[in-house]
Amino acid sequence: MRFLTPFVYIIAFTAVAAVGMVAWLGISFKQFETVDAEGSLNCTPVVGIVGAADIEPIPESHAAYMASFDRRGGATRGAILRFDTDNPLDSASWRDRTDGKPVVFEPMGIDLYHARLPDGRWLSRLFVVNLAGPEVLLYDVDANGDLALRERFSDPRLVSPNDVVATGPRSFYVTNDTASGQKSWRGKVDFLLGLRTGQVFHYDGSSWSDVIDNLAFPNGLALSPDGRTLYLAEMRAKSLARFERDPVSDVLTQVGSVPLETFPDNLSIDAEGHVLVGTVPQPLSFTAYGEGLRDKAPSSVLRVAQSGLIETLFQDPGDALSAATVGVRLNDKILIGSRAADRFLMCDANE
């Protein structure tokens, strides 16, 4: 039986390597750490809107658009909803605003372009990442808040779009989180190993350009109200990057980066210029929850001041909300959305 000896060594080596890999993944992605409830927000769950992974406030209102997709329930199509905090029980908040277009629709990041035209009227358009495309969709917004699909933007290099931020009525930045696609095996390996295959693309209304590359899973984007500062959540690098932007040429220059102790997802900017960051305390639990393999996953929302000071607004082991992805200030409320939960949180904002 001596011929079996090499195979015994191979099996033993493979088992040790597998145990080592599991331990490394657990330590790297904080699976062994306890996530306790933290933060002073007084939050109320709003049940019935599933997978509100990104939320975009509507100016001069108490309402917001929500990108909704029931990942755990195996939905075949997502929706864009309009939720009014002044009337949270209004049945219109549960109505898809896209008129069913496009038919194949997995919404991710969203951003609202809102600007005054020369004749004094306001122009509102909603940019939406459709991972199922993969593409960026542009909707016209009518007076009732309904959406009419206007254009679809795609590029062969845009294989895994994640978030979008408008720079004009037909222009935008969009993150491409991995060069292979986040749903592919290669994309999953890119994330696990922290390989820098992600990019940020810009579409200027006529052509595409690669404006930032060598990124470790770029996720959320946010643009300051004056259009001169772009914030980027580099998820796998656990950092919030800041870029100076030339509003005329769209050229970006990195001017800083705030290291985080967790994995940033979507971003928003409040009235004081602070960046609200939906974060993922345990990425493996986050993914397993989204695929229906776990009953809950931890959540966290941070506020990063312009000085770099970091404050935990909300942290939860998954009891109040699982797999939070975004926190948005909307007047006297903070809305916290989730990748896959059957609810989001409406919280009283502390001044």
Which DSSP string corresponds to 118-170?
TTS-EEEEEEEEETTTTEEEEEEE-TTS-EEEEEEE--TT-SSEEEEEESSSS
For residue 12, tell me if it sits in a domain: no
Output the pLDDT for position 180: 86
For residue 1, tell me if it sits in a domain: no
Output the pLDDT for position 281: 96
For residue 44, tell me if it sits in a domain: yes
Residue 220 has pLDDT above 60, yes or no: yes
Cα–Cα distance, 337 to 330 (Å, whole number): 13
Cβ atoms within 10 A of the Cβ of 134, count? Answer: 19
Find out whether 90 and 82 touch, Cβ atoms under 8 Å: no
For residue 15, tell me if it sits in a domain: no
Cα–Cα distance, 220 to 260 (Å, whole number): 14
Cα–Cα distance, 198 to 212 (Å, whole number): 9
pTM to 2 decimals?
Answer: 0.92
Mean pLDDT of the chain: 91
For residue 7, tell me if it sits in a domain: no
Residue 89 has pLDDT above 50, yes or no: yes
Cα–Cα distance, 337 to 328 (Å, whole number): 9
Output the pLDDT for position 19: 44
Nearest Cα neighbor of 170 from 117, 127, 231 is: 127
Residue 342 is classified by DSSP as: S
Tokens 């992600």 map to which residue?
Answer: 198
Find out whether 175 and 198 touch, Cβ atoms under 8 Å: yes
Output the pLDDT for position 40: 85
Better pLDDT: 245 or 36: 245
Output the pLDDT for position 181: 82
Cα–Cα distance, 20 to 15 (Å, whole number): 9
For residue 160, tell me if it sits in a domain: yes
For the chain, percent of residues with pLDDT exceeding 70: 91
pLDDT band of 11, cuts 50, 70, 90: low
By the 10 Å C-beta count (0-12 exposed, 13-18 middle, 19+ buried), 5 is classed as: exposed
Lowest mean pLDDT among 190-204, 256-270, 318-332: 190-204
Domain tally for the chain? 1
- pLDDT single digits (tens) 251-299: 999 999 999 999 999 999 999 999 999 999 999 999 999 999 999 999 9
Peptide bond before residue 225 is cis, with ω within 30 degrees of 0: no
Listed in order, strand segments (DSSP E) in 177-304 are: 198-203, 208-215, 218-223, 229-234, 239-245, 252-259, 263-269, 275-280, 299-304
Nearest Cα neighbor of 346 from 26, 42, 91, 34 is: 42
Find out whether 325 and 278 touch, Cβ atoms under 8 Å: yes
Distance of CA 91 to the CA centre of its chain: 26
For residue 14, tell me if it sits in a domain: no
For residue 319, tell me if it sits in a domain: yes
Cα–Cα distance, 36 to 42 (Å, whole number): 16
Beta bridge partners of 233: 240
pLDDT band of 38, cuts 50, 70, 90: confident
Sheet holding 135-141, edge to edge: 107-116, 122-130, 135-141, 147-153
**Domain, as residue range, for 69:** 33-348
Cα–Cα distance, 231 to 256 (Å, whole number): 10
Residue 32 has pLDDT above 70, yes or no: no
CATH code of the domain covering residue 49: 2.120.10.30
Lowest mean pLDDT among 54-58, 158-162, 176-180: 176-180
**What H or E segment, with its residue span, contains residue 107?**
strand 107-116
Cβ atoms within 10 A of the Cβ of 26, count? Answer: 14
Cβ atoms within 10 A of the Cβ of 169, count? Answer: 15
